[in-house]
Structure formats: structure tokens, C-alpha cells
Amino acid sequence: MSSATSAAEDVCCKRLVGKVALVTAATAGIGLATAERLAQEGASVFICSRKQSNVDETVAALRSRGLEVAGCACHVGSAEQRRQLVEQCVKRYGGLDMLVSNAAVNPGAGPLAETPPDVIDKILDINIKSAVLLVQEALPHLLRRPGASIVFVSSVTAFNPAAPIAMYAVSKTALLGLTKGLAAELGPRGVRVNCVAPGIVPTKFSAALVQTPELAARQAEGTLLRRLGRPQEQAAAVAFLVSPDAAYVTGETLVVAGGMQSRL
């Protein structure tokens, strides 16, 4: 474990002790950083990824550092696997307080007007439809816990969908609306719903945007801070939104993008 990680754990507050979090697509990138941060703050965290081997490796790594983490393989596009995901989480930890919907795909690149139907179908199926259906699966359990919350992981590109990832960005725009709609429905029932919109964070998922030093530098120049983001910075935003510190925050999108343009 690096000294930087040790330092982060030393100063990490414990706002989530006794809570249970479910984080999708949590074996790499922002999802992994989020699972790690929530566990550092005291939550029991249940993770998933499409490959069981990735889940096993991640769980072992986080447990080796004394964090309470478990998980299973789940393709969020499968109704049966979504059901089993929530069921196993609740069976393992006795309930569910927080759902972080992070799973997303981007199977194609190019202008919106040239996006093939199969690419559109897959993006909307995983990035939007599956997110809604996962909420439906988790909601009965969330409603049983005071202070329950949901966080969607969107993208700063939601505010300005452009090639080469325009269709993906449009699906992330839809998450902003989903956040507002669900917050209005679930607020009176005691469940808060918020969203995080990350900027450009160098991960495997965003590799196409930062695949050369020149391209990465260009992306960094598009921020006011003149640098790219880090997964841990997105995780900190999620941790705030699910914590008691955000008890009066719902229906909001928190942009964590170094000052990139973020208005519709």
C-alpha cells in the first residue's frame, strides 16, 4: 500500500459506519475508487463487475487492507443478474442504504447522425434502462433504511455531447433528468437521489480521450485547473452525497471536472 493511500485512509472521516453500499462496475477506475472510499468511511460495500475473476481480485485486495467488501459477477443488462446482485448484497449485509449506479458502456464512436442502431440500443440499454431497473430492484430495500440514497455517475460530457462520444454523452444527459425525476418521486419517501458528473479522468474506460500525451494535454487545457481528474476525486464527491453531510441535498448533479463547461 502506498504512502499516499495510507495518508488518505488516516484522514478519511467515518461518516458511513454501519451502512451498506452497493456499487456497480467497481473493479476499476471510478467505481473501484468509490468502493474503496465508502469502505474507508466505514461502510460495508458490495461490488460487481461482469467478470467474477475481477470481482475476486478486487475483493481480496480491499480486504487485505482491512476493508469490508464482498461482491459477485453481474451484467447489469440482465434482469436475473440484477435481481441476484441485490439479493446477494442484502443477504450478505442485512440491508441496503446506498446504491451507486456506475456501470456504463460506449461500444462505438463518431457523430450522432452516423451512430448505428445496434450501438444506440446497447448504450441506452446499459447506461439508462439498466440504471432505472436496478433502482427498481433495490428500492424496496432502500425504503427500509433511514437516510437511504442513490447516486448516478454521469459525465461532464452530458452538458455538451460531441463527437466522438456523442451518443454515450447523450445517455449521460439522460441521467441528469433521471436524477431529477427520481428525486421528486422518492424524496417524500425518504430516499435522496443525486448525480456526479466527472470530468476527464484517465482510466481504461476513457482511454480513447487520453491515448497520447498530446491528446491528454489537450484535454487538460480544457479545464480551469489545467489538469485531468483522479478517480479518488470522483469517489470523494460520491461519498459526500451519500453521507449525512448531504442530508438536505437531493435532485442535484455535482460536477467534478476541474472547471470544464457544465451547463445545458
Q: Which candidate in 168, 169, 182, 203 is catalytic?
A: 168
Q: Which residues contact 35 (CB under 8 A, 6 or more apart)?
A: 21, 23, 26, 45, 47, 58, 62, 69
* Residues 204, 26: Cα–Cα separation, whole Å: 13
Active-site residue, 168 included: yes
Catalytic residues: 168
